Amino acid sequence: MPAQIAINGYGTIGKRVADAVAAQDDMRVAGIAKTKPDFEAKLAVRKGYSVYAANRDAVAKFEKVGVRTAGVLEDLVKGVDLVVDCTPEESGYKPLYEKAGVKAIWQGGEEHALTNLSFNAAVNYADCIGASFVRVPSCNTTGLIRTLYPLDAHFGIDRVVAVMVRRATDPGDSKKGPINAIEPELEMPSHHGPDVQSVLPNLNIHTIAVKVPTTIMHLHTVTVDLKKPATGDAVLDVWKRFPRITFVAGGDGVKSTAQIMEIARDLSRNRADLYEIAVWKDGVHVVDRTRLYYFQAVHQESDVVPENVDAIRALLELERDGRKSMEKTDRSLGIGLAG
Ligand code: NAD
């Protein structure tokens, strides 16, 4: 029988995780929970998901607009094997999950300290097998880990300095900005560097972040001092052996994140998502034998989605081999077909 999975919070990340879970044969969506009966709740009903109100007070709001609920979150979590919590940061559901004796996965808005275990399928799947609680780090952090881990494993890394050019908000959000400004994050390092260390504790990384008026994709410019000499081709060969990294080329007309999202649309995936990290292969440069520069783009709404599916398998011990889990997830989502 497939594992029963609840999704608490059905926004940008939650609705994608729900669809990815529904695409697997070893797990199913038992229900989704929301605070508001908005258009996303109505679409969830149309998709056939059982909708639960986040709390008893919210039930009347759902009923008033004709969204039938199957109960409240508390009922949902009692009957499932695991909750994927995709609510905004610090929503505070840990005591509820603990009381119900249910396993849970949180997203990158939460601090590492909430679970003391942050997950990346390629790096630490084995360490998370059977765990009760993990956190999947944020989109930017996951993006950095995807390309830095292979480099560290193969060449060794002395030091990383990454500058993150961050999207202002998600496409479905019209409240946040900036809309006509460039906003430096004055905290140094930005929170991303320490967050990468929640999965790769020995990596010497410094991060700097700037927010710009775009809604799709972050762009990272990364400088890495490698321990062993390398060439650009050798670096690309290492990345090609790892899943969830794809390659684009300025020479093919991919001059910006706009063309990368056009590729994602042309692939006709669910919601035109790009789960892979896109690296410009003609933007990879090695100087003085050990200094590597590269650019990568991160589709913030979707890169963490396959990680959530693998984290479910690890926690519920549905698969003990991380590679096999990643392959299964990637096949189901069409990952690997981009480039
Ligand atoms: P979102 O605002 O798009 O969605 C949040 C959902 O939770 C909405 O459906 C909202 O109605 C619901 N919700 C709000 N309060 C709730 C509560 N108390 N109980 C139950 N449901 C509640 O947020 P998001 O962008 O999907 O972010 C969710 C998490 O994922 C955060 O930790 C965030 O940092 C992380 N994350 C976001 C992105 C991104 O780019 N959007 C990328 C990676 C990780």
217, 245, 210, 219: which is closest to 330 by C-alpha? 245
Ligand 1 neighbourhood includes 169 CB (under 6 angstroms): no
> Burial letters for 55-67: b for 16+ Cβ neighbours within 10 Å, e otherwise?
eeebbebbeeeeb
Report CA Rg, the chain.
20
Kindly state whether residue 288 falls inside one of the protein's structural domains. yes
CA distance 250 to 282: 7
Beta strands 103-106 and 82-85, pairing class? parallel
Q: Are 331 and 251 in contact (CB under 8 A)?
A: no
Same-domain pairing of 241 and 317:
no
Residues 6+ away with beta carbon under 8 Å from 21:
5, 7, 27, 28, 29, 84, 309, 312
Considering the entire predicted model, what is its pTM?
A: 0.98
For 246, the 3-state DSSP assignment is: strand
- The residue with tokens 């995807």 is 146
Distance 43 CA to ligand 1 centre (A): 17
Kindly state whether residue 81 falls inside one of the protein's structural domains. yes
Kindly state whether residue 35 falls inside one of the protein's structural domains. yes
Same-domain pairing of 132 and 155:
no
The structural domain count of the chain equals 2
Same-domain pairing of 44 and 125:
yes
CATH value at residue 67: 3.40.50.720
Q: Are 190 and 209 in contact (CB under 8 A)?
A: yes
pLDDT score at 137: 98
Out of 76, 107, 198, 217, give the residue to mutate to test ligand 1, the one with the largest number of ligand atoms within 8 Å of its CB: 107
Kindly state whether residue 338 falls inside one of the protein's structural domains. no
311, 305, 310: which is closest to 275 by C-alpha? 305
Q: pLDDT by residue (tens digit) across 234-288?
A: 999 999 999 999 999 999 999 999 999 999 999 999 999 999 999 999 999 999 9
Kindly state whether residue 244 falls inside one of the protein's structural domains. yes
Same-domain pairing of 263 and 192:
yes
Assess whether pLDDT exceeds 80 at residue 128.
yes
Q: Which ligand 1 atom lies nearest to the CA of residue 13?
A: 26
Same-domain pairing of 152 and 283:
yes
Q: How confident is the model at residue 27 (pLDDT cuts 50, 70, 90)?
A: very high
Same-domain pairing of 226 and 175:
yes
Q: How confident is the model at residue 132 (pLDDT cuts 50, 70, 90)?
A: very high
Residue type, 212: V
Q: What is the mean pLDDT of residues 220-241?
A: 98
Assess whether pLDDT exceeds 90 at residue 15.
yes
> Burial letters for 143-165: b for 16+ Cβ neighbours within 10 Å, e otherwise?
bbbbbbbbbbebbebeebbbebb
Same-domain pairing of 20 and 112:
yes
- Please name the helix (run of DSSP H) or strand (run of DSSP E) that holds residue 256, with its range, or none: none
Same-domain pairing of 107 and 199:
no
pLDDT score at 339: 55
CA distance 103 to 199: 20
Assess whether pLDDT exceeds 60 at residue 192.
yes
Q: Which residue has the higher pLDDT, 1 or 308?
A: 308
Same-domain pairing of 143 and 132:
no
Kindly state whether residue 207 falls inside one of the protein's structural domains. yes
Q: Which ligand 1 atom lies nearest to the CA of residue 40?
A: 9
Residues 6+ away with beta carbon under 8 Å from 271:
16, 301, 302
Same-domain pairing of 215 and 292:
yes
Kindly state whether residue 339 falls inside one of the protein's structural domains. no
pLDDT score at 336: 82
Distance 237 CA to ligand 1 centre (A): 36
Kindly state whether residue 265 falls inside one of the protein's structural domains. yes
**Residue 314 exposure: Cα atoms within 13 Å on the Cβ side:** 31
Assess whether pLDDT exceeds 70 at residue 338.
no
Ligand 1 neighbourhood includes 109 CB (under 6 angstroms): yes
CATH value at residue 288: 3.30.360.10
Ligand 1 neighbourhood includes 108 CB (under 6 angstroms): yes
Same-domain pairing of 151 and 282:
yes
Q: pLDDT by residue (tens digit) across 52-91?
A: 999 999 999 999 999 999 999 999 999 999 999 999 999 9
Q: What is the mean pLDDT of residues 25-47?
A: 97
Where in the sequence is the domain holding 276, given as residue range(s)?
139-298
Same-domain pairing of 176 and 291:
yes
320, 167, 331: which is closest to 244 by C-alpha? 331
CA distance 154 to 152: 6
